[in-house]
C-alpha cells in the first residue's frame, strides 16, 4: 500500500502541471502547450514501475510464496485494488493504442508535398489493420476484404494532414454551430434570407403539379412498410418494456421443425424478424410473400408484400441498422452503373450498386416477382425503403424498370450521394423522395465529408478559446442556445475583416499566408485531392419538409397554424453538411412518421373547416 500511495503521489505531482498546461492556448495553438510533451513522457514512463509494483502485488496477494495478513477485510480490499489497477492499466494501453498515430503528425510544407502519395499508402495500411482487428468478425463476408480496403483508402484520404483526437472534432462541431448562427445573422442583416426559396404550408398547393401517385398519403403508407423492415430491434427500441410481449403473439416457436407457408431466409428458430414485420406492418400473414433476413456487407434484408390498399406488389428494403450496413454506406466511391434507360456513363454509390445487384439477382434466381404477379396479375410494382433502403431501392428500380415500366419508388430520407446528376434526373420520373428538416444523412456524402473536414480545421484555427472552454460552452448551447455575444468573442480578431457586400466576415482568409499550416495545404487544389472525382446526388423528385417558426403575429393572435412547411427541392441543395440540433432526430423513421401524420391531420382539419365554412 505504501508503494501504491508513493506512485499515486508522483502521478498527482505530474498531473497538476499537465492539466494546467494542457488547458493553455487554442486547439491548434500548440506552442502554448510545448511543455506538455515532456511532462507526458515522464508520466508514461511511470507506467513501468506501476506495472512492476502491480505484478509484485499480484504475487503477494494471489500467490503462496508470501504469507500476508489473514484478516479477511484487509485481504479482500487489497486484492480488489490490485485487480482495479490492472483494469486501469488495460484502459490506459487501449487509450494509447487509439490515440497514438504511428505515422506522426502530418505537417506539410512545399518540399514535403511530393511525399504525400507515400504517406497516403502508409496511412491506408494503418487503417486497414485497424479495421481488420476492430471488425474481425466481418472478415468472412464475401466482400469483406474489398470493403475494408475501400474504407481504409477513404479514411486515409479524409484524415490525411490532420492531427486531432476525438474531442477536437467535438469542439470543432460546437464551433461550427456557432459559425452557422453567425452566418444566419449576417444573411438576415444583408436581407439574403428573403431571397431564399419560399416554403408553403398548404399541401394541395405544393402537390398541384405532381402526378397522383406522388402524395403524402402514399408516402406515409409506404413509410410504415419501410419501418417494418427494421423488424424486432425497432419494436424493442420503441417499446423497451413491452416489446417482448408485443412480439410474442407473432412468433412461431420451433418454426424450424414446422412446414413454412411462405419463403423466409435466414431468420431464427422463432421467426423473430418476421414477427417484427407482422407487428409493425399489420399485414396479414398470407400477404407476406417472401422475406430475406440475410445481412452481410453489401447484402441487406428485404421482404415482398402484397399491398391490397394500393394494388401493389411492394418490395421493401431495410435501411442501416447493423455495422455491416454502415460498411455498405461508407463504401461510397463512385462506380459505373448500367441499366436500360440510364444516360451513358452513369455513376452510382459503390456499396449501393453491389447491394442493388444482389437483390435483383436474388429476385431472379428465386423467381419471386413472377410468382407474386402470378397471384396478383393486375397489381403494379412498388419499391420503398428508408435511408440506405431508399437509395438501394432506387437503384433496384433502375434495374427493373425495363421489365416493369409502371413501377414506382418511394424513397424516404435517401442519402445525398446515390447517382450522378443526369442519372438522378432520370429517376425523377418514377421516384418520390421525402426528406425532413436538417436530416444529416440527406446531406452526407464523400464531398460533404471532405468539405466538413476543411471547415472544421478553419473554425479550430479561427477560434481563440481553449478546448475546455469550448466544451463547457457546448453544454450551455445545448440547454440555452447560442448567446449573441459568443458570435463575436469566439473568434480571433485577425481572422475576420470588415464585411463586404454578399460575403461573411469569417469566410475571409489572409490572401498570402506567411506559414504553411494544415489548413492552407487542405485549401490547395481541392478538386485534385477529392477521394471521388464524380459528385453524386440525391435521387428522384425531392419534397423537403421543414419546421415553421412562429412569427410574433402568430404568437399574439394565438391562431393555430401548421407547424410544418414544404417545397420541391433540387438535389444540389443537399450538398453541404450542417451541424444542427435536430440533424440526427430528423432522420429517425419514427420522427418522419410523426411529421407526415401531423401534416396529413392538419390538412384534413383544414379541409373540414373549409367544407363547413368554419374559421
Q: What are the tens digits of pLDDT across the range 205-227? A: 899 889 999 999 999 999 999 99
Burial of 229 by CB count in 10 Å (0-12 exposed, 13-18 middle, 19+ buried)?
buried
Residues 137 and 345: their CA atoms lie apart, in Å, by: 36
Residues 247, 178, single domain; the answer is: no
Instruction: Specify whether the CB–CB gap between 383 and 313 falls below 8 A.
Output: no
Provide the pLDDT confidence category of residue 28 given band limits of 50, 70 and 90.
confident
Q: Are 545 and 566 in contact (CB under 8 A)?
A: yes
Between CA 176 and CA 491 the distance in angstroms is 12
Provide the 8-state DSSP code for 199.
Answer: P
Instruction: Assess whether pLDDT exceeds 60 at residue 50.
Output: yes
- Indicate if the pLDDT at residue 29 is higher than 50: yes
pLDDT at 409 over 70: yes
Report the mean per-residue pLDDT for the chain: 83
Find out whether 564 and 596 touch, Cβ atoms under 8 Å: no
**Reported confidence tier of residue 73, pLDDT bands at 50, 70, 90:** confident
Torsion of CA 312, 301, 531, 179, to 10 degrees: 80
- Ranking 167-176, 233-242, 427-436 by mean pLDDT, the lowest is 167-176
Do 366 and 289 contact (CB within 8 A), yes or no? no
Mean pLDDT, residues 344-348 taken together: 93
Distances (CA, A) of 291 to 140, 303, 366, 384, 386: 23, 4, 12, 15, 17
Question: How far is Cα 452 from Cα 173, in angstroms, rounded to an integer?
Answer: 9
Same-domain check for residues 458 and 438: no
128 is a domain residue: yes
Distances (CA, A) of 115 to 66, 109, 351, 450: 58, 10, 30, 21
* % the chain with pLDDT above 70: 83
Helices (runs of H) and strands (runs of E) counted in the chain: 23, 11
CB 574 within 8 A of CB 438: no
Highest mean pLDDT among 137-151, 194-208, 418-432: 418-432
Most trustworthy range by pLDDT among 26-35, 245-254, 427-436, 501-510:
427-436
Residues 447, 535: contact at Cβ < 8 Å?
A: yes
Residue 35 domain flag: no
In terms of domains, do 477 and 566 share one? Answer: no
Please check whether residue 439 lies inside any domain of the structure: yes
Same-domain status, 182 and 247: no
* H or E element at residue 541: strand 541-547
The pLDDT of residue 257 is above 80:
no
| Mean pLDDT along residues 268-274 | 86
| Domain co-membership, 495 together with 427 | no
Q: What is the C-alpha separation between 293 and 270, in angstroms, rounded?
A: 13
- 238 burial level (CB within 10 Å; 0-12, 13-18, 19+): middle
Other beta carbons less than 10 A from residue 480's beta carbon:
8
Together in a domain, 438 and 451: no
Grid coordinates standing for 114? Answer: 511530393
CA distance from start to end of the chain? 80
DSSP state of 549: P
CATH assignment at residue 597:
3.40.50
Distance between CA atoms of residues 434 and 206, nearest Å? 13
Whether residues 596 and 463 share a domain: the answer is no
Please determine, for residue 558, whether its predicted confidence score (pLDDT) is greater than 80.
Answer: no
State mean pLDDT over 80-102. Answer: 81
**Residue 161 and residue 518 in contact, taking contact as beta carbons nearer than 8 Å:** yes
Report if residue 285 sits inside a domain: yes
**Span 451-464, mean pLDDT?**
86
Q: Which residues share a beta bridge with 264?
A: 291
Tell me if 403 is assigned to some domain: yes
DSSP state of 194: G
Helix (H) or strand (E) holding 304: strand 302-307
The predicted structure's pLDDT at residue 270: 84
Closest CA to 281 of 299, 248, 304, 297: 304
Is 313's pLDDT higher than 60?
A: yes
Q: What is the mean pLDDT of residues 66-94?
A: 82
Averaged over 417-433, what is the pLDDT? 95
- The number of angstroms, rounded, from the C-alpha of 258 to the middle of its chain's C-alpha atoms is 40
Whole-angstrom distance, CA of residue 498 vs CA of residue 202:
41
Q: 373, 379 in Cβ contact below 8 A?
A: yes
Per-residue pLDDT band for 148 (boundaries 50, 70, 90) equals confident
186: nearest Cα among 491, 395, 514, 420: 491
Residue 515 within any structural domain of the chain: yes
452 and 313 fall within a common domain: no
Do 376 and 429 sit in the same domain of this protein? yes
Burial bucket for residue 89 (CB in 10 Å: 0-12, 13-18, 19+): middle
Q: What is the mean pLDDT of residues 285-296?
A: 92
Residue environment code for 530-542, b if the CB has 16+ CB neighbours within 10 A, otherwise e: ebbebbbbbbbbb
In the block, which residue shows the cell 424478424? 273
Using the predicted structure, report yes or no on whether residue 496 has a pLDDT greater than 50: no
Say how far apart CA 206 and CA 252 lie, in whole Å: 46
Q: Give yes or no for a contact between 109 and 70, defined as CB atoms under 8 angstroms apart.
A: no
User: Is pLDDT above 90 for 78?
Assistant: no
Task: Say which residues have a Cβ less than 8 Å from residue 441's Cβ, sequence separation at least 6.
Answer: 387, 413, 415, 416, 587
Find the angle CA(251)-CA(254)-CA(260) to the nearest 5 degrees.
75
The upper half-sphere exposure of residue 422, i.e. CA atoms within 13 Å in the direction of its Cβ, equals 10
Give the tens place of pLDDT for each residue, 94-107.
877 766 666 554 44
Is 377 in the same domain as 477? Answer: no
User: Does the structure show a pLDDT above 50 at 288?
Assistant: yes
**What is the rounded CA–CA span in Å between residue 227 and residue 230?**
6
> For 262, phi and psi rounded to 5 degrees?
-150, 165
Q: What is the mean pLDDT of residues 596-611?
A: 85
Q: Which three cell numbers stand for residue 252?
A: 412461431
Kindly tell me if the per-residue pLDDT of 517 is higher than 50: no
State residue 64's pLDDT score.
Answer: 75
Q: What is the pLDDT of residue 235?
A: 94
In sequence order, what are the beta bridge partners of 307? 312
Range of the domain at 305: 203-327+366-443+557-611
DSSP, res 499: P
* pLDDT reported for residue 442: 94
Q: Across-strand partners of 385? A: 317, 411
Q: Are 226 and 284 part of one and the same domain?
A: yes
- 180 and 231 belong to one structural domain: no
Share of the chain above pLDDT 90, in %: 40
Q: DSSP alpha helices (H): ranges in 258-381?
A: 272-281, 323-330, 350-365, 368-375
CA quadruple 253, 256, 262, 266: dihedral sign: positive
Rounded Cα distance between 504 and 182, Å, is: 9
Mean pLDDT of the region 291-306 = 94
Instruction: State how far the Cα of 460 lies from the Cα of 481, in Å rounded to an integer.
Output: 20
In a domain, 542, yes or no: no
CA nearest neighbour of 144 among 132, 153, 157, 134: 132
Has residue 504 got a pLDDT over 80?
no
Range 553-560 contact pairs with CB under 8 angstroms and sequence separation of 24 or more: none
> What are the DSSP calls for 509-534, one per residue?
--SS-SS--HHHHHHTTTGGG-S-SS
Number of domains in the chain: 3
Evaluate whether residue 596 is within a structural domain. yes
Closest-CA residue to 101 (of 166, 19, 39): 166
Q: What is the pTM of this model?
A: 0.82
Q: 385-399, pLDDT tens digit by residue?
A: 999 999 999 999 999
Q: What is the mean pLDDT of residues 20-33?
A: 86
Amino acid at each position: 500500500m505504501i508503494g501504491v500511495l508513493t506512485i499515486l503521489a508522483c502521478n498527482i505531482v505530474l498531473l497538476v502541471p499537465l492539466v494546467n498546461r494542457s488547458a493553455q492556448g487554442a486547439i491548434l495553438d500548440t506552442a502554448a502547450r510545448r511543455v506538455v510533451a515532456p511532462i507526458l513522457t515522464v508520466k508514461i514512463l511511470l507506467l513501468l514501475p506501476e506495472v512492476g509494483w502491480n505484478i509484485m502485488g499480484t504475487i503477494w496477494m494471489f500467490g503462496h510464496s508470501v504469507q500476508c495478513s489473514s484478516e479477511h477485510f484487509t485481504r479482500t480490499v487489497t486484492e480488489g485494488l490490485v485487480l482495479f489497477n490492472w483494469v486501469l492499466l488495460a484502459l490506459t494501453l487501449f487509450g494509447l493504442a487509439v490515440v497514438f498515430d504511428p505515422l506522426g503528425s502530418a505537417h506539410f510544407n512545399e518540399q514535403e508535398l511530393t511525399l504525400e502519395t507515400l504517406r497516403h499508402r502508409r496511412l491506408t495500411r494503418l487503417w486497414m489493420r485497424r479495421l481488420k482487428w476492430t471488425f474481425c468478425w466481418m472478415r468472412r463476408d464475401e466482400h469483406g476484404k474489398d470493403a475494408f480496403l475501400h474504407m481504409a483508402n477513404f479514411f486515409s484520404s479524409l484524415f490525411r494532414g490532420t492531427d486531432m483526437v476525438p474531442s477536437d472534432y467535438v469542439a470543432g462541431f460546437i464551433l461550427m454551430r456557432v459559425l452557422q448562427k453567425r452566418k444566419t445573422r449576417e444573411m438576415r442583416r444583408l436581407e439574403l434570407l428573403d431571397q431564399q426559396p419560399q416554403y408553403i404550408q398548404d399541401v394541395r398547393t405544393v402537390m398541384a403539379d405532381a402526378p397522383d401517385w406522388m402524395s403524402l398519403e402514399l408516402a406515409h403508407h409506404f413509410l410504415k412498410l419501410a419501418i417494418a423492415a427494421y423488424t424486432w430491434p425497432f419494436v424493442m427500441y420503441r417499446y423497451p418494456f413491452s416489446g417482448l410481449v408485443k412480439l410474442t403473439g407473432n412468433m412461431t416457436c420451433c418454426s424450424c421443425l414446422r412446414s413454412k407457408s411462405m419463403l423466409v431466409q435466414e431468420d431464427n428458430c422463432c421467426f423473430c424478424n418476421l414477427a417484427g414485420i407482422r407487428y409493425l406492418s399489420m399485414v396479414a400473414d398470407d400477404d407476406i410473400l417472401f422475406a430475406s433476413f440475410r445481412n452481410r456487407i453489401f447484402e441487406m434484408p428485404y421482404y415482398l408484400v402484397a399491398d391490397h390498399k394500393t394494388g401493389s406488389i411492394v418490395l421493401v428494403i431495410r435501411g442501416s441498422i447493423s455495422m455491416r450496413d454502415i460498411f455498405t454506406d461508407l463504401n461510397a466511391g463512385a462506380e459505373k452503373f448500367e441499366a436500360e434507360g440510364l444516360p451513358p456513363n452513369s455513376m452510382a454509390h459503390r456499396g449501393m450498386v453491389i447491394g442493388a445487384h444482389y437483390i435483383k439477382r436474388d429476385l431472379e434466381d428465386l423467381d419471386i416477382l413472377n410468382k407474386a404477379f402470378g397471384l396478383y396479375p393486375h397489381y403494379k410494382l412498388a419499391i420503398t425503403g428508408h435511408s440506405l433502403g431508399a437509395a438501394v431501392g432506387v437503384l433496384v428500380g433502375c434495374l427493373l424498370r425495363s421489365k416493369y415500366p409502371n413501377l414506382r419508388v418511394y424513397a424516404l430520407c435517401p442519402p445525398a450521394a446515390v447517382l450522378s446528376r443526369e442519372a438522378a434526373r432520370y429517376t425523377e420520373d418514377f421516384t418520390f423522395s421525402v426528406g425532413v428538416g436538417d436530416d444529416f444523412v440527406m446531406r452526407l456524402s464523400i464531398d460533404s465529408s471532405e468539405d466538413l473536414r476543411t471547415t472544421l480545421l478553419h473554425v479550430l484555427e479561427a477560434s481563440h478559446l481553449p478546448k475546455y472552454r469550448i466544451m463547457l460552452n457546448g453544454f450551455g448551447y445545448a440547454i440555452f442556445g447560442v448567446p449573441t455575444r459568443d458570435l463575436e468573442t469566439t473568434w480571433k480578431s485577425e481572422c475576420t475583416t470588415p464585411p463586404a457586400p454578399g460575403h461573411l466576415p469569417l469566410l475571409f482568409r489572409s490572401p498570402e499566408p506567411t506559414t504553411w499550416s494544415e489548413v492552407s495545404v487542405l485549401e490547395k487544389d481541392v478538386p485534385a485531392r477529392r477521394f471521388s472525382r464524380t459528385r453524386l446526388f440525391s435521387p428522384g423528385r425531392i419534397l423537403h419538409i421543414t419546421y415553421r417558426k412562429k412569427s410574433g403575429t402568430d404568437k399574439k393572435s394565438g391562431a393555430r397554424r401548421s407547424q410544418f412547411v414544404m417545397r420541391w427541392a433540387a438535389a444540389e441543395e443537399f450538398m453541404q453538411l450542417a451541424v444542427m440540433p435536430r440533424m440526427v432526430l430528423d432522420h429517425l423513421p419514427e420522427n418522419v412518421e410523426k411529421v407526415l401524420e401531423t401534416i396529413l391531420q392538419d390538412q384534413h382539419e383544414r379541409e373540414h373547416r373549409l367544407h363547413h365554412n368554419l374559421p
